[in-house]
Amino acid sequence: YQYLSRYKREEDLDRFLFIPERTEGTEKECLKLLLEFCGRHNPSWTELSNFTHFLNFQLSKCEKSVFCSPAVGKDFKGF
């Protein structure tokens, strides 16, 4: 939710620090955002679950990647 909400507001994600313990938004806002970005019209709970697991996996990999680290941020802006 933190990444998707900032992406929708067109905020800079390169400087965003994900904090798992911090709660943002409501359940209703989260569901609305997931439905918007899922890419399916009227998705099932299974499709939403698959979408969130895949997105979480990709974002976790991105956070750990040297190519997305602040050290190379200027060279790979927006990567």
**Kind and range of the H or E run holding 75:** none
* Domain range annotation of the chain: 1-75
Q: Which of 67, 64, 58 is nearest to 3 (CA)?
A: 58
pLDDT in tens, the chain (79 residues): 888 998 999 987 776 666 777 788 899 999 999 999 999 999 999 999 999 999 999 988 887 877 776 666 666 665 5
Predicted pLDDT of residue 44: 95
For residue 50, the Cα-to-chain-centroid distance in whole angstroms is 14
Entry pTM: 0.74
